[in-house]
Amino acid sequence: MDEWLRVEEVLNVLEEGILIIDDQYTFRHVSSKAKEILGITLKCNDRYHPKGKMQKGDIVIIADNALGCDDGDLTPRDLNRHFNIPQCEIAKQDAVIAISVYQNDSIAPIYKFWKSNVGLRYSLQERFLDYDIEVVIDEADKLMRIVVNGEVYQMEYLYCIGHMVVIDGKEGDVKFFQAPGYSYRNESIKPLLDGAEFSEKQGNQLSCDLIGNTIESAAGYSELYGVINHAINYRETIKGEIIEIMGRPLLCSTALLEDGTALRGVVVKIESLSELQDVLKLRNEVINTIVTSEEYIRSKIRRREAKMLGGIAGYSAYINNVKSLGYRASTVDSTVLITGESGTGKTLLAKRIHQASRKSGVFIHVNCGAIPDNLFESELFGYVKGSFTGASNRGKVGYFEMAQHGTLFLDEIGELPKHIQPKLLHVLQEKQYYRIGAQKPTETNARIIAATSINLEKAVAEQRFRRDLYYRINVFPINIPPLRRRKKDLYVLINNIIKGLSGKMDCADKTLSGEAFEKLIGYDWPGNVRELENVLERAMIISETNIIYPEHVNISEEHVNVILKDILAATEKNAIVETLDACNGNKKITMRKLGISKSAFYEKLKKYGIVDIE
């Protein structure tokens, strides 16, 4: 017995979760870390509520980033039945924020909803029945926050989550708040709305023990049962495979527990994928695991791939938003304006939109900054034979004619000469143009995609670009964020670039050392993806082995780690703006809430260029 207790003490200090299951499929040990990962042990930050049920008249606050996913299969009908929210407006997969009185039709609910994949941040701030309530769904940082009279109830998530706080309609206190492991405790939104009882949260933890129970009797453990069953019957183990337990994707490995030739059970190691993402900075080999986990979750839970452009690397919320907008652009013939810094991949996005649109014509790429002013008109529209001295006897086909039934991509449209701008405007308005020397117009059905790395609004203000032309090309704008704002995509981009370069150079795949990888992660990437490609190509050329070390990575120290300063500044600015807005522009109240002096407050207003908020 003492020996077993010592083993338990060792297992409880490990950073990985450990489960021991005997040959009768019974849980014999669940380590402290495993309980935390599975949501069996729940840290409540010293908050407390007794067990109970929702009652008529309770105030319910819901935040759900994908209706029907990881919320107990909540439906628009449930929202209508319990909160009187019209079900005809909301659909499955929509993001929903709602504040209402449970089963009370006399008090109108307050709610907002957004169609899937249309944004990165959803929020609602209201005073409801004498409660100050703020709800935020942050898809970029994967945070969901419900604030009731200043008390914050926050949940982190990977892909889908249903968050809820319930205020007792009679006592006025919070009687329930959502916490990790809610699926295990049958505390998803729908079961609770349908009358299920929620568990007590007491002190700093709530514990539901698995010891002595069989896997078959534990709801949500079917995939683990399959792994254990295979190990016991075939004595085969797994390493680093993703399985789902209680709706959570976990990295799982197994080992056999043997006594001589007799099999006594199976040891299972589980790791949280959300924690693994931090380890990626030091362990390059986990890249493929994270990619697999992302693909696995999207296909199993969100199933949104059909509405995103393919062929664009990255799975961050920022790039998913770009892929979603790109897909929508491919379904219509509207003019698209792609903006973004140099090297972000504007040409690639334009090509993917053209390919997804399945047009019968070709994709014509025109760099507006590379054509001499005096040749621009003939290159763009072509000319008929003999139209001017030196003209070809056969005439010339222009880019618009080449792109008939296809796509004309006007790259760096901000460099378009002033004398060509009204002629391009005419083509966009009338869908026809004149070849130089022609008496009759030529019809065109070419789809226009434009791109620029300059601020066109500033160019309009400086009269370098026509205002009416800007409005014509800015029908469907898509902005590609710089690489420094979507560092999560670096893992996938680096992997893809190295594989592509290996094929181009006809050499074996090379691997980044942990230090080299960390150096790339800490860099600001002012040249974006193009600079990343160049840095990796040079590193692969000069590295003499299959390992790329930090000395092979040639980047300027000037841009290393400045991203942290940028993030802190942006966070501070947002905090000031949001607090000012919440205080209706009252600076005195804002200073008190932020806890800063008058001089410091006005200094920051000047620093960040914050104007009065009315």
Characterize the bridge pairing of strands 95-101 and 59-64.
Answer: antiparallel
Residue 343 belongs to domain with CATH number: 3.40.50.300
- Is 290 domain-assigned? no
Tokens representing residue 340 in the block: 């973004």
- Is 435 domain-assigned? yes
- Is 284 domain-assigned? no
Residue 593 belongs to domain with CATH number: 1.10.10
Distances (CA, A) of 584 to 371, 414, 463, 611: 52, 39, 37, 13
How many structural domains compose the chain? 5
DSSP 8-class letter at 310: S
Given 426, 445, 479, the domain boundary residue is 479
| Rounded (10°) CA dihedral 487, 121, 86, 56 | 100
- Is 287 domain-assigned? no
Predicted local distance difference test score (pLDDT) of residue 186: 77
Are 475 and 490 within one domain? no
Q: What CA–CA distance (Å, rounded) separates 386 from 459? A: 37
Predicted local distance difference test score (pLDDT) of residue 567: 56
Contact indicator for 211, 28 with CB cutoff of 8 Å = yes
For residue 564, list its beta bridge partners: none
Are 230 and 342 within one domain? no
Half-sphere CA count of 517, side-chain side, radius 13 A:
23
Q: What CA–CA distance (Å, rounded) separates 453 from 238? A: 48
Are 201 and 220 within one domain? no
Are 136 and 79 within one domain? yes
Q: What CA–CA distance (Å, rounded) separates 397 from 377? A: 11
Are 391 and 349 within one domain? yes
Half-sphere CA count of 525, side-chain side, radius 13 A:
28
Tokens representing residue 64 in the block: 């759900």
Are 379 and 521 within one domain? no
Residue 492 belongs to domain with CATH number: 1.10.8.60
Q: Note down the domain range covering 266.
A: 2-40+210-278
Predicted local distance difference test score (pLDDT) of residue 558: 62
- Is 296 domain-assigned? no
Are 58 and 82 within one domain? yes
Are 455 and 583 within one domain? no
Are 315 and 464 within one domain? yes
Tokens representing residue 130 in the block: 């004498």
Predicted local distance difference test score (pLDDT) of residue 563: 47
Tokens representing residue 438 in the block: 């022609």
Are 488 and 544 within one domain? yes
Query: What are the 10-residue block averages of pLDDT along the chain, 614 residues in total?
Result: 55 79 92 81 70 95 91 92 88 93 93 80 93 92 91 83 94 90 80 92 59 83 89 88 76 89 91 60 50 55 62 86 92 95 95 92 95 92 80 85 96 94 95 92 95 95 95 95 88 89 86 84 89 93 87 76 57 80 80 82 83 58
Predicted local distance difference test score (pLDDT) of residue 153: 93
Put simply, whether the predicted model's pTM sits higher than 0.75 gets the answer no
Distances (CA, A) of 402 to 81, 362, 370, 373: 57, 8, 18, 20
Predicted local distance difference test score (pLDDT) of residue 54: 95
- Is 68 domain-assigned? yes
Given 207, 225, 247, the domain boundary residue is 207
Predicted local distance difference test score (pLDDT) of residue 194: 94
DSSP 8-class letter at 198: B
Alpha helix (H) residue ranges in 382-527: 399-402, 421-430, 456-461, 467-473, 490-505, 514-521
Are 182 and 218 within one domain? no
- Is 258 domain-assigned? yes
Q: What CA–CA distance (Å, rounded) separates 19 from 460? A: 64
Are 262 and 142 within one domain? no
Burial class (CB in 10 A: 0-12, 13-18, 19+), 522: middle
Residue 226 belongs to domain with CATH number: 3.30.450.20
Pick the closest to residue 325 from 470, 490, 479 (CA basis): 479
- Is 102 domain-assigned? yes
439 φ/ψ angles, rounded to the nearest 5 degrees: -95, -25
